[in-house]
Chain A
Amino acid sequence: MSSVDVRARMNAIGVLKEKFKIILDQIQRGEKPTLVMPKRVLSNTIYDEKNKMLLLGPDVLRRSLIDVNEARKFMQTLLMASIIYEALVNNEYPTIRDLYYRGKHSIGYRDVDGKLVHENTWDEQKESDSVIRDLEVFMNVLREEMLILSKEKGKVVGNLVIKSGDDTIDLSKMGHGAYSIEPTPDLVEFKDVDAEYVLVVEKDAVFQQLHRYGFWRKYRAILVTSAGQPDRATRRFVRRLNEELKLPVYVLTDSDPYGFYIYSVFKIGSITLSYESERLATPSARFIGVSMTDVFGDEVFREVLDEVKEVGGFTKTALGKLKKKKPYLSESERRNYVIKAKQRDIERAVELVGYDVADKCVESSELRSKLKKKEGLTGYPWFRTPNWVRELCIFFKTLNKLEIEAMASKGLKFLADTYIPSKIEGGDWID
């Protein structure tokens, strides 16, 4: 077992014992045993402007055995802690599904009327997963740091040599394949690197095309894909590349609200799991594209500006000062490649940037009234920037989206040799 592994185990065991010693001491002192942890709810999620990431707020949850509503969860938390503890000391790498099975058993007891009742420690995996998340916030240790595995999804190639376990792996020698980012990215050691930046692409297919094209070798990039919604390991890995190797990170996604959101998960964190952000988010990640202005230019947006005083809380003048943008696609290419946005895409866009922007930019009054039900949405602060307001306004106005594959079908060469390099060189990204 590698020393990193051993160190990680020792650390997790230490924290676990330390945190549960508090409970033990409470019991020994005759106090009611109470787990105190940050509240893991949306209302206790705050956007840290300074560090540009989502964090848990100051609200805490007190989970006491004496509280009838919390007793079961209290038991589950201790049960889960004991299973994780056992796995750690036994040098195991359980998955969350393993933990679910290991902890699932019945508790038989006599009801008030003397009936024998059997209750499961937990019923569905949803329940035990939630307990794992509680433990992560209670101990302030991520599951990866407790050596709990999840499915591998992310992939990486590039001029990077790593050590994983006892093996040294050269990520530039993966053939047509790629290195799967392991579920315990903290156990990876970076040995040697020769790269200028990290390019994260949302789509696996595009990753493979760029890989075969030799993109990373040509442009000295480390190429990563999250294959859709990024998992924790991929985010942690990208974060380490950025933090430890000081490589700038560029994210390439579809040109639609869902792609924009994926970018924000890398950069800021996920809204529902904000407690992980501190260690998973890469606040300096840049959105390279595909942006709406890459597809449509900024003509459309200026048309809107002619008719209003402000959009998304920014004055016409402020928005007018945004860098001019020419589209990467010709009129006819555009006609060929763009797809019509679905209602789901439109609603997601409202969530990202806020109802007021939609109200200003959507042309059809029928659609505007349809969106009325979203009136309360004010958008996420990190999307309320002039650049993103422009992007989403264009989306609302055109109600079109574009998948990166379309860029690739214009010619892989175009994507690899023109689009990406020129965007990076020209500083044409959103920060």
Chain B
Amino acid sequence: MSSEAVEKYKAISPAEFFYKYKEIAGFANPARALYQTVRELVENALDATDSHGILPDIKVVIQRADPVQEFYRVTVEDNGIGIPPDIVPNAFGRVLFSSKYVLRQTRGMYGLGVKMAVLYGQMTTGRPIEVITSKREYRRIYFFKIRIDINKNEPVVLERGSWRKQRDWHGTIVSLTIEGDWGKAKARIKEYINRTATVTPYANIVMYTPDNEVILYKRVIETMPRPPKEVKPHPYGVDLEMLKMIIESSKEPTILEVLVENFQSVGEVTAKDLLSKAGIDPSSNPRDLKEDDLLRLINTMKSYNQFKPPSSSAISPLGVEVIKAGLTRMFEPEFVDAVTRKPSTYEGHPFIVEAGIAYGGKVPLSEADKPILLRYANKIPLLYDEGSDVITSVVKEDIAWDNYMVAFPAQLVLLVHVCSTKVPFKGVGKESIADVPEVRREIKLAISEVARRLRGYLTAKQKELETQRKVVHLAKYIPEIARSLEVIFSGDGFDKDTLVKRLVGIISAKTGIPENKINEVIRGVEIGA
């Protein structure tokens, strides 16, 4: 991109930009907009809870808001950390304002999600966003009505208020009224909630729909994914924009200190080494540096090969227990297992791949060529563009399913979760993951491992079934054999019951099948005339 274009790009307000190009953020039509609004609010709610060690209680209410027009009021309530009242206007009224720019895996990341919904509501119904929030330590609950000044990209607070807390409540309630199309969006929204619930078995999620339906997913475990820690960015993963932002928000007087303070794996020695390689005076004021200097610094950082690999403590995998509990809650499968791969990196970004597998039980039948695929990126379900996702191509091209005793269609669900401080999405849609070799490799290893475990289960099951067949095959003849021997030996002190008992004992000893199983078969035998 030429610098001229960047100048122009900066000339319009981001709010204006997104207002014009709302399709990009998923607000193309009323149906998509309703779905996207629910998503943004639910993801913010989950970010405010599980990322902070709070077991989420989330309530989603979608209501008709106008008897004539297709207006819907979407309310999402959480029991999360709440938002300080001085932050609320910006959080909901300034595009690209986010608390999530720091390097830490969260669901939201661009700082525009909720504001798009606000802008869309403003545009279609003219109604402002309503926010009720309080933090745990507050004595008061705060209330806001906000709209966005599109030209200035500034919040306009229409109403505000606060009242004393009567009970020990914390969290946030956000309400938005937008034009929507419940009829068309219904299936997708339900699927989204369902798929979200699949990976949040530690959450209570309830949704009230305009059809007066109540959809409830009750918490089944108390274990949560370990919350992500904030980490400083690794030099490998930094680009020009990010470096500029870091410098802007920093208070250090010299570039040397900026590097040491804001990056992981960079100490004073390394920082000096980097700066001298880039031809920059370590004592120079970072805010005076030209774009050329910064570019050189970035290139030096990228080619430097003595950094420790990026830390993975900023990413928060679901964990084996959560995946298994989630799949179990959804599918009551006959077999379930999951694996969390060890952290890996691509282009300086740490990432972790997880896979879960569920077989049999209430798992529906898959398509003819692959299992039912549940894709997730940073705990967000990916519902669209399955065909272009690297996960799909791994499942279809890299895994020889018949080696794992699986033949499609099968009652098989495969869950794949890619989490990273920067998931390599294809495009802004955030609906499919790009084919990055390192990521692809990890996906393949994760799937192979759960598939191997499934094979182990299926093999054992088959063996068990064979043993059971064997029992039946032997035991069904015992009554007839006992009867025959009785005919020959009755009167010679022959006792049929003892004989049967002995036979059961012998079969049990020779085959390792418990006596009660054999007896069960014998009890079921009827000798016909």
Contact = CB atoms under 8 A, between A and B. Distances in A.
Interface of A: 16-17, 20-21, 23-24, 27-28, 30-33, 65-66, 68, 71-72, 74-75, 78-79, 81-82, 85-86, 105-112, 118-119, 121
A109 B469 CA distance: 12
Interface residues of B, number: 35
Contact of B506 (A66, A110, A119): A66
A65 B502 contact: no
A68 B510 CA distance: 12
Given A33-B506, A68-B470, A24 B485 contact: yes
A32 B488 contact: no
13 contacts: A24-B489, A27-B502, A30-B502, A33-B506, A65-B503, A66-B507, A68-B473, A75-B480, A82-B487, A86-B487, A107-B526, A109-B526, A119-B476
Nearest to B498: A28
B158 interface: no
Nearest to B502: A27
B406 interface: no
A86 B481 CA distance: 15
A105 B529 contact: yes
Contact of B483 (A17, A32, A82): A82
B509 interface: yes
Nearest to A77: B484
A81 B473 contact: no
B521 interface: yes
Contacts, number: 102
A78 B521 CA distance: 20
A74 to B, nearest CB: 7
Interface string B513-529: 00000000100111111
B480 A66 contact: no
B474 A71 contact: yes
A74 B477 contact: yes
B458 interface: no
A117 B525 CA distance: 10
A109 B520 CA distance: 10
A105 to B, nearest CB: 5
A82 B484 contact: yes
B488 A65 contact: no
A71 B470 CA distance: 10
Interface in B495-515: 499, 502-503, 505-507, 509-511
B484 A78 contact: yes
A107 B484 contact: no
B223 interface: no
Contact of A27 (B477, B503, B521, B528): B503
B12 interface: no
B513 to A, nearest CB: 11
A105 B528 CA distance: 5
B502 A107 contact: no
B469 A112 contact: yes
Contacts of B477: 65, 71-72, 74-75, 107
A256 B472 CA distance: 53
A71 B511 CA distance: 13
A30 B472 contact: no
Contacts of B510: 32, 66
B485 A107 contact: no
A110 B472 contact: yes
Given A20-B489, A109-B524, A110-B472, 4 more contacts: A30-B509, A31-B506, A82-B487, A118-B528
A109 to B, nearest CB: 4
Nearest to A106: B528
B521 A109 contact: yes
Contacts of A74: 477, 481
Contacts of A79: 480, 484
Contacts of B474: 65-66, 68, 71
Nearest to B503: A27
A112 B485 contact: no
A57 to B, nearest CB: 29
Given A105-B527, A107-B527, A20 B488 contact: yes
Closest 8 CB pairs of A and B: A106-B528, A82-B484, A75-B477, A82-B487, A108-B526, A109-B476, A110-B524, A78-B484
B95 to A, nearest CB: 61
Given A16-B488, A66-B474, A105-B528, A28 B521 contact: no
A92 to B, nearest CB: 14
Given A20-B488, A78-B484, A106-B528, A30 B470 contact: no
Contacts of A68: 470, 473-474
B153 interface: no
A111 B502 CA distance: 23
Contact of A111 (B472, B480, B485, B529): B472
B465 interface: yes
B470 A32 contact: no
A82 B526 contact: no
A33 B469 CA distance: 20
A318 B118 CA distance: 119
Nearest to A78: B484
Nearest to A119: B476
A233 to B, nearest CB: 27
Contacts of A107: 476-477, 479-480, 525-528
B517 to A, nearest CB: 11
A420 B484 CA distance: 54
B468 interface: yes
Contacts of A30: 502, 505-506, 509
Nearest to B499: A27
Contacts of A75: 477, 480-481, 484
B487 A85 contact: yes
A269 to B, nearest CB: 30
B525 A78 contact: no
A75 B506 CA distance: 16
Interface string B94-115: 0000000000000000000000
A123 to B, nearest CB: 14
B479 to A, nearest CB: 8
B525 to A, nearest CB: 5
Nearest to A71: B474
Contacts of B505: 30
Contacts of A118: 528
Contacts of A32: 506, 510
B485 A78 contact: yes
Contacts of B481: 65, 74-75, 78
Contacts of B494: 24
A105 B473 CA distance: 17
Nearest to B494: A24
Contacts of A72: 477
Contacts of B503: 27, 33, 65
Nearest to B520: A110
Contacts of B526: 107-109
B362 to A, nearest CB: 18
Interface in B134-162: none
Given A66-B474, A68-B470, A121-B480, A17 B489 contact: yes
B463 to A, nearest CB: 13
Contacts of B502: 27-28, 30
